[in-house]
Amino acid sequence: MTFSPDNLVITGACGGLGNALARQALARGAKVALVGLNAGLLDTLAATAPGRCAIYTPDVSDSAAMQAMAQDWTTRFGTPDAVIANAGVAGGFDTAEASDLAVFRRILEINLLGVATTFQPFVGPMRARGRGTLVGIASLAGRRGLPGNGAYCASKGGLIRYLQSLRAELRPSGLRVCTVNPGYLRTALTAGNRFAMPGLMAPEDAAAAILRAISRGDEELVLPRRLGWLASALDLLPEAWHDALLLRQPRKPRAGESGSTPIPGLKAASTPHRGPEAPAPDPDFRAR
């Protein structure tokens, strides 16, 4: 059984995967709540579908702001068929550096708490209606830790477990929870990576696959599928073997290093022991 969701809420809609999701949903005639940090970019996107969009610029980890967004959207357009929690950030992390603890905290706030904060206002109305889909954009990085990427891997690993818990909780009420585990997508999050990215995928292709998964009622999606098989195979290796495979892999740049991506809302800019000063946060980098 398939259905075509015509009322969606998408966070991280300014660029990358979120923008591709929004564009494709709007092209299908859907009504879409565009949630992101760059109002100008969202205005441009909304102009392509007059009367079918609303623009919101909250911090996804701010529960009061997200509740206000949800109330406004449901009042104007009704309870959504699907909520896609796509907003996310990434950054290198070094446990030996005290300044990086703020980076760890902020990544968890956006990537993990932000998903629960996004879903929370919609669960009640969806449950009362007896249907709805909650989609969390996790990552294959949540399946296995990577050197220098502990904060991101921890946030996505926690997200996978949260979505599993939520799926079991909501199944009796008719709601679906879909976990999406992308590998590498060609977005700002991966632009600074200094290592090979097998299976690198265009966000437009990933968005199309996600919308198909929602329509089919899928509960899990790995992108691309062959990377899921590879991840499962690697899970069978002894820990020491896995660590040896990654020993020479370059680490993800830390805040302020060349190739790093700014993290919005980071209150204490991390100054690494090497590299230039950390740049000011990019107000658009909530989009994947």
Query: What residues are annotated to the active site?
Result: 152
Contact 200, 182 (CB under 8 A): no
Q: Length of the chain in residues, anyone? A: 288
Task: Let me know if 98 is exposed, middle or buried by CB neighbors in 10 A (0-12, 13-18, 19+).
Answer: exposed
Strand ranges across the sheet with 220-223: 53-56, 31-35, 7-11, 82-85, 132-137, 175-182, 220-223
Nearest to 154 by CA among 101, 82, 222, 83: 101
* Counts of helices then strands in the chain (DSSP H, E): 9, 7
Distance CA 72, CA 7 (A): 14
Distances (CA, A) of 125 to 71, 72, 211: 10, 13, 22
Q: How far apart are the first and last CA of the chain?
A: 30
Contact 155, 112 (CB under 8 A): yes
